[in-house]
Amino acid sequence: MTATDIAPVPVALTIAGSDSGGGAGIQADLKTFAFHCVHGTSAITCITSQNTLGVTRVDALPAAAVVAQIEAVVKDIGAYATKTGMLLNKEIIVAVAEQVENLKLANLVVDPVMVSRTGAQLIDNDAIITLREVLLPKAAIATPNRYEAQLLSGLEIHTLDDMRAAAARICSLGAAATLVKGGSMSGNLKGVDVWFDGNNWETLKTTKVETNNTHGSGCTLSAAIAANLARGVAPLLAVKQAKEYVTGTLKHALSIGQGTGPVGHFFPFNNSITATCSMATAIS
C-alpha cells in the first residue's frame, strides 16, 4: 500500500533524536514540516538532555521501540518522504534500514548525523560502518557535512574538488544523490554545497549569514528537503529550495539561552506573531 492510498495530504516521517532545547532533531524537523504545509510524523530514536550550551545526557530507545513507531505511522498514515537524523547505534540503524526495505519507504533523505560541524564524533565506529553499508545505499539523497563526508568517502576534504570527489564516492556506495555541505569549510567555500546525482553536478551557493545561532541548521535542511520531496518537488529543486529556506532561518536565528541559539523556523511570521503576542499580553 502506498502513501497516497492512505494520506490525502503530504506526509513526511522523521526518524531522529529528541532535542529538549527544541532547536534540532525531531523538534526542528516537525517545525520545518509544518512550515512547508506537510503533516509531520515521527519515530524517536533517542532522548537527549540538552540546551544551547550542549548535551548533558543521551538515552537510546530500544530498536524495537523505534520499529514500533515507524510501523504505527506508516501502516495507518503513510509517508510520502522519510528523513533520518541521529540514529545513535548499530542496532537502531539496522532496524531502520529493515523498515525502509519492508515498508518500501520512498524519498529517503539520510542526514548521517555522525560528526558535529566542529568535528566531534557523535557515534561509534561500528555505527558509522553500519550506516555506510546498510542505510546509505537506500538513500534518495544523503546530506553529509564536511566531516561526515570524509568518514563516508575515506577522503580528506579541503577544496571544492575534494567535495566533488567525496560526493562521487558516496554515490558510488549506493546513495542516489549526495549533497556535501560546506558549512564547516573555510574561506570562500564556507556555506558552499556540492550536489551530485551520478550524472549531474551542481555547486550551490546562497547569501552568507554571519550568526552564532546556527543550532539545528543541518536537521532543518534535511527536513526541508524531505518536505519538498513529499510535496512532489524534483530532488535537485527540493535541495535548492531547502537551502534558501535555511538561509532565511539563519537570517532570523533566535538569540535565546546562553550558548548557540537555534535557527528561526517560522521567520516569515515572526513579526506578526510578535505583534499578536504583545497585543494579547497587553489585553490580559
Judged against a pLDDT cut of 50, whether residue 72 lies above it is answered with yes
Judged against a pLDDT cut of 90, whether residue 271 lies above it is answered with no
Judged against a pLDDT cut of 60, whether residue 156 lies above it is answered with yes
Mean pLDDT across the stretch 100-127? 89
Name the residue with higher pLDDT: 17 or 124: 17
Side chain identity at residue 231, one-letter code: R
Judged against a pLDDT cut of 60, whether residue 134 lies above it is answered with yes
Judged against a pLDDT cut of 60, whether residue 275 lies above it is answered with no
Q: Is the dihedral of CA 212, 206, 267, 147 positive or negative?
A: negative
Q: Among 32-36, 182-186, 216-220, which is the least confidently predicted range? A: 182-186
Mean pLDDT across the stretch 214-234? 96
The answer to whether 230 touches 80, Cβ cutoff 8 Å, is: yes
Q: How far apart are CA 194 and CA 190, in angstroms?
A: 12
Confidence (pTM): 0.92
Q: For residue 123, what pLDDT is reported?
A: 87
Q: Among 16-20, 100-104, 120-124, 166-170, which is the least confidently predicted range? A: 120-124
Angle at 74 between CA 71 and CA 76, to 5 degrees: 100
Provide the pLDDT confidence category of residue 149 given band limits of 50, 70 and 90. Answer: very high
Q: Which residues contact 78 (CB under 8 A, 6 or more apart)?
A: 1, 2, 3, 4, 5, 6, 7, 11
Question: Structural domain of residue 156, as residue ranges?
Answer: 3-283
CATH of residue 240's domain is 3.40.1190.20
Q: For residue 115, what pLDDT is reported?
A: 80
Q: For residue 6, what pLDDT is reported?
A: 61
Strand partners, 51: 54
Q: Which residues contact 129 (CB under 8 A, 6 or more apart)?
A: none
Q: For residue 219, what pLDDT is reported?
A: 96
Provide the pLDDT confidence category of residue 280 given band limits of 50, 70 and 90. Answer: very low
Provide the pLDDT confidence category of residue 277 given band limits of 50, 70 and 90. Answer: very low
Q: Report the share of the chain in percent with pLDDT over 70.
A: 90
Q: For residue 270, what pLDDT is reported?
A: 60
Per the structure, the count of domains in the chain is 1
Q: Among 8-17, 118-127, 226-235, 244-253, which is the least confidently predicted range? A: 118-127
Q: For residue 138, what pLDDT is reported?
A: 98
Q: For residue 52, what pLDDT is reported?
A: 93
- The C-alpha R_g of the chain, in whole angstroms, comes to 18
